[in-house]
Amino acid sequence: MNGRERVLTAIDHREPDRVPITFDAQPEVYDLLYAHFGISEREQLWDALSVDTWLVGPVVNDPREKELENGLFQNRWGYRLKKQPYEAHGKTGYYDEIVYHPLADIDCARDLDKHDWPDPSLLDFTHLNDLRKSQPDRAIIAHITHGGYFNATFLRGMEQFLVDLAMDPMLTRGLVERTSAYLIEALDKLLEQAPDGFDVFYVADDYCMSSGPLFSPDVFRIMVKPYLRAITDRVHAHGKKFLLHVCGSVRLLLPEIIDSGVDILEPVQRRSHGMDLAGLKREFGKDLTFYGSVDLVQTLNKGSVAEVSDEVRRNIEILGPGGGFILGPGHTYIQIDAPLENILAMYESAREQGALVYS
């Protein structure tokens, strides 16, 4: 099988020739791997690690998205980010910290009309058609922006939005309707411009802490489920699959997530409450494909090479049977605190053990 066939077979809950493999990391980790392999391009790295997926976003022509003074960057939604350094194991990495929430000070739902909302017509997806031609053997995963809930927290600020959730449901609902409407309209454009240019549609929409969800399943049904259903209806009608990223302890919400039509769950953080892999596979494995799972809290960044290899083997043995598993980091981005030898061990073990489980 090629990578695309491998991924789609696993999502259909059939057993491919080996467990599919995915990868993503912070830019500094890319540089580390490029230097190790003596390469400079993403495709070469994917070949070296046997990666079966390819994540791609839109070309953004929205003038709201721009560099500002003092090292600030303004996203097309209007929130502003600043690169912040951090140190780990003698290495320096950077992350984008949101330093300005444009809707933090509004008083009511009517004030939403005053915001300069982004325009989905200013996105372009035609490059996905060329990507399909250049990467015919990999499963292409398209993304546009964060989910309706997640972008609402960026616009309002997480703490304030959660207060709104309890105290001002009209404002909360109005804001999520605006953010999700953009996503759905942009998805329609993606499906129009590149109907054959991707296999899976991806949205990140973090609702959870490591101890549990930030709100109840009842709130999920009212606030989140309508736009998830609108997304899945569209992608399924076009023969695509839907991948939802939710960090942390998402188990309590999984029945509603499954009922929303979601096909794939990322990143499967096994150290979070209730996220025991065997239990997840037993209770939800017939409905969900699990994407990720290799622990970045302790194992990949602090464990030995043997411990990393053992975790990869164990996760494959638990999640691999019957398909429904794509192995990768238990967070979208491998961080700079992961030693090079551990990253290499993870992908070497994935290639070896991923074939043995189906032999």
Confidence of residue 47 (pLDDT cuts 50, 70, 90): very high
Domains in the chain with CATH codes? 3-64+103-356 (3.20.20.210)
In this predicted model, what pLDDT tens digit does every residue of 213-254 receive, in sequence order? 999 999 999 999 999 999 999 999 999 999 999 999 999 999
| 190-to-4, 8, 53, 71, 203 alpha-carbon distances in Å | 20, 20, 18, 31, 14
Q: Tokens 């939802």 appear where?
A: 244
Taking Cα atoms as reference points, which of 224, 243, 258 lies closest to residue 328?
243
Confidence of residue 276 (pLDDT cuts 50, 70, 90): very high
- Could you tell me what percent of the chain has a pLDDT over 70? 100
Inter-residue contact 145 to 182 (CB < 8 Å): yes
Predicted local confidence at residue 238, as pLDDT: 98
> Alpha-carbon distance 315 to 95, whole Å?
29
Taking Cα atoms as reference points, which of 97, 98, 96, 94 lies closest to residue 29?
94
Inter-residue contact 21 to 354 (CB < 8 Å): yes
> Alpha-carbon distance 47 to 56, whole Å?
17
Predicted local confidence at residue 302, as pLDDT: 95
Q: Is the predicted pLDDT of residue 16 greater than 90, yes or no?
A: yes
Contacts of 38 (CB under 8 A, 6+ apart): none
pLDDT (average), residues 266-292: 98
Inter-residue contact 242 to 201 (CB < 8 Å): yes
Q: Is the predicted pLDDT of residue 332 greater than 90, yes or no?
A: no
Q: Is the predicted pLDDT of residue 293 greater than 90, yes or no?
A: yes
Taking Cα atoms as reference points, which of 114, 72, 60, 124 lies closest to residue 96?
72
On average, the pLDDT of the chain sits at 97
In this predicted model, what pLDDT tens digit does every residue of 175-222 receive, in sequence order? 999 999 999 999 999 999 999 999 999 999 999 999 999 999 999 999
In this predicted model, what pLDDT tens digit does every residue of 299-331 receive, in sequence order? 999 999 999 999 999 999 999 999 999 999 999
Q: Is the predicted pLDDT of residue 291 greater than 90, yes or no?
A: yes
In this predicted model, what pLDDT tens digit does every residue of 85-144 receive, in sequence order? 999 888 899 999 999 999 999 999 999 999 999 999 999 999 999 999 999 999 999 999
Backbone φ, ψ for residue 151 (5° rounding) = -65, -35
Confidence of residue 13 (pLDDT cuts 50, 70, 90): very high
Q: How many C-beta atoms lie closer than 10 Å to residue 86's C-beta? A: 12
What is the distance of C-alpha 147 from the center of its chain? 10
